[in-house]
Homo-oligomer: A and B are copies of this chain.
């Protein structure tokens, strides 16, 4: 809080417009000492699942108390709730649309409020299309100054928060069944199969007729060759050494994959 407060920003605003810069202006006007760190603003427009994945894999690396401000908000101006919540590592601020539903099963909410206290908004008549600027950014800034969460609005039951239905991976004998939950800038295909299933085992990925060896580094195969490995986020990934697996394999978001365990 205060001098060392960190606010991260994640959105689907892209980098062409002033939306992100304006949110930073609003925050800095309220707390001139805050430290702002961009997670990404290149979430594909309105792709809540990608935003959920990014937040879920990022929060643990930030200082305790960090405030994560996330605005992927196709329902802005409708009845979706605006929320802020405290969890063990810090605070989350954004729309109640499932964007935080990757973090919370790992690190449950301590307290959740609906952002109903206009006193902490930028204006009592917020834009119907940009709550990031008029509600979420000022609320995050006030939290960074030490305003207690409960002052921001009415407490709500964490059980009522919107969940995003992401397929779970499953196991049948020595086969794991999962799907692609994220594709990164390099074209690496990130599945929803966690590393714990394959740790200290020999394994391969099967997609149709294609068998992809489970490795530990990109350079385990020749440049241009396909491999599978546990990626840096802790999930089974499919990659191409010095290449793009999405382009090479024509695999897409939500496509199914199968991992075969050998021992």
Chain A interface residues (CB < 8 Å from chain B): 4, 6, 8, 13-22, 24-26, 28-29, 32-33, 35-43, 45-46, 54, 57-58, 61-63, 66, 74-78, 127-130, 133, 184-186, 216-219, 229, 231-232, 242
Q: Are A185 and B14 in contact (CB under 8 A)?
A: yes
Q: Closest B-chain residue to A5, C-beta based?
A: B32
Q: Are B15 and A40 in contact (CB under 8 A)?
A: yes
Of B6, B128, B185, B218, the contact of A28 (CB 8 Å cutoff):
B6
Q: Are A231 and B14 in contact (CB under 8 A)?
A: no
Q: Are B21 and A40 in contact (CB under 8 A)?
A: yes
Q: Name the B residues within 8 Å of A57 (CB-CB).
A: 18, 22
Give A128 to B216 CA distance when docked, in angstroms: 7
Q: Could you say which of A19, A33, A77, A129 has the most chain B C-beta atoms within 10 Å of its C-beta? A: A129
Q: Closest B-chain residue to A217, C-beta based?
A: B77
Q: For the complex formed by this chain, how many copies does it contain in all?
A: 3
Q: Are B17 and A184 in contact (CB under 8 A)?
A: yes
Q: Name the B residues within 8 Å of A28 (CB-CB).
A: 6, 35, 37, 62-63
Measured CB to CB, the closest approach of chain B to A107, in angstroms, equals 15
Give A33 to B35 CA distance when docked, in angstroms: 9
Some 22 contacts from A to B, beta carbons below 8 A apart, are A4-B32, A6-B25, A15-B15, A15-B42, A15-B185, A16-B185, A17-B185, A18-B40, A18-B57, A19-B232, A21-B37, A21-B40, A25-B58, A25-B61, A29-B63, A45-B242, A74-B242, A77-B219, A129-B217, A129-B231, A130-B232, A133-B232
Q: Closest B-chain residue to A78, C-beta based?
A: B219
Of B35, B43, B46, B128, the contact of A32 (CB 8 Å cutoff):
B35
Q: Name the B residues within 8 Å of A133 (CB-CB).
A: 61, 232
Of B17, B36, B62, B216, the contact of A54 (CB 8 Å cutoff):
B17
Q: Are A16 and B42 in contact (CB under 8 A)?
A: yes
Measured CB to CB, the closest approach of chain B to A184, in angstroms, equals 5
